Amino acid sequence: MDDLPSKSYAAGETVMREGDPGDCAYMVVKGTVEIFNTGPDGKPNVLAKLPAGSIFGEYALIDRQPRSASVRAIEPTLCLLLTEPVVNRILGRADPVIRALLHAYMRRLRTVRPPAPPPAPVPQKPNKSVAVIAREPELLELAKAAIGPMNCKLYLNNSGMALLSELEGGRAVDVVFISFYTGDMQALLVSRMIKRGEKTARVKTVLLAPSSVKQGLDAVRAEFDNVVVDATTETLRQAALAYMG
Amino acid sequence: MDDLPQKTFQSGSLILAEGDPGDAAYLVVKGKVEIIRGTKAGPQAVVTEVGPGGIFGEFALIDNKPRAATAMAAEPTVCTIISREVFQKLMKQTNPVIRALMLDYTKRLRMLRGD
């Protein structure tokens, strides 16, 4: 092993830094190193102390990811620098069975990835928009007339239904369902769908006669910050995305 | 390595079967081996082929899980059989750098496989 590249470190000297690009592994020949990362309080958080004979930074030979932790010498230390050519040189002298096995395990590590972290939770915002679902085209027209050209969109029946299913029971938007009829089947379906999913969206069914569309929608606007009116799946999607931020 | 046990397989013969307990890895000396995995639909799919110098069944040396795939000889094939005992013996004679790397990588693989 005398012919392998090595480097000496004084006590306290940094060997590698978290986030640095990694292209070699190290083996401690003499001395001791400390592996640490930065804790939430900004102070170093010691993960391990490695004596002579230990290896670290070896994942760089598998996958050239940035270093996941920092390392420093805590006493005068000598390390071998194990770059890929150096490792291959040593492997060339190893038993072919060991050589084949190490290569097989390295290849496996390259292909077997740890599972991806779960997606970040959707931030919950106060109710900023609301999907209004109307069943009847004439109601949509009445609603548009009643609300006027402000930042309101009204979503009409089936397209809204389809998207609500897609959004897993209306999690993304609060839903106000307006209808001419009591016991409107679609209103019941939407309510049930959302309740079954135990989502946090509020569901409100506003029953309207054609003559009371304006009062009904005024009540809706008093309760929600922003009422969005449109008739297409795509605009409901956009509103939902805006709501989720 | 000349003293390691070898085994000869005829073309088309089964070397190891998915679900079997695993106790050794195989190094292909001569021939060709197909690694086959059963699919939900029933028919089997060839995952990969291993030729001379290649290795298969190597997880048996690092954990106790059943074989994840089936290996069949695609032509007359000779394999060196690497039992856990042989592996341990070879590791003892290996350069300490390689031994340390091997121990680390097998530990990581074991963790990834949840064993």
What's the pLDDT band for A60 if we cut at 50, 70, 90? confident
Residue B83: strand pairing partners: B24
The Cα angle at residue A145 between residues A140 and A151, in degrees rounded to 5:
85
Q: Do the chains contact at B100 and A55, CB–CB below 8 Å?
A: yes
Sequence-ordered list of residues with C-beta below 8 angstroms from that of A145, at least 6 positions apart, any chain: A213
Is residue A82 pLDDT above 70, yes or no? yes
What's the pLDDT band for A61 if we cut at 50, 70, 90? confident
**Residue A237, CA distances (Å) to A87, A144, A172, A183 in order:** 53, 20, 9, 27
Q: Do the chains contact at A1 and B91, CB–CB below 8 Å?
A: no
Out of B1, B80, B109, whose CB is closest to A105?
B109
ipTM computed for the complex: 0.84
**Interface mutation vs chain B, best among A62, A97, A103, A113, most B CBs within 10 Å:** A97
Closest CA in chain A for residue B82: A97
Is residue A201 pLDDT above 50, yes or no? no
CA dihedral over A138, A139, A143, A149, signed as positive or negative: negative
Length of chain A (residues):
245
Determine the distance in angstroms separating the CA of B8 from the nearest CA of chain A, rounded to an integer. Answer: 18
What is the overall mean pLDDT for chain B?
86
Higher local confidence (pLDDT), A143 or B72: B72
Chain B residues with beta carbon closer than 8 angstroms to that of A109: 105, 108-109, 112
What's the pLDDT band for A75 if we cut at 50, 70, 90? very high
- Alpha-carbon distance of A101 to A94, in angstroms, equals 11
Give the pLDDT confidence score for residue B50 in this predicted structure: 93
> In percent, how much of chain A has pLDDT > 70?
44
8 A C-beta contact, residue A227 and residue A136? no
Type of residue at B37: R
Per residue in A130-184, pLDDT (tens digit) is 445 554 455 445 544 544 333 333 343 444 444 444 443 434 344 454 444 433 4
Structure tokens at A95: 């038993």
Determine the distance in angstroms separating the CA of B71 from the nearest CA of chain A, rounded to an integer. Answer: 16
Is residue B60 pLDDT above 50, yes or no? yes
Residue where the block lists tokens 């089947």: A185
Is residue A213 pLDDT above 70, yes or no? no
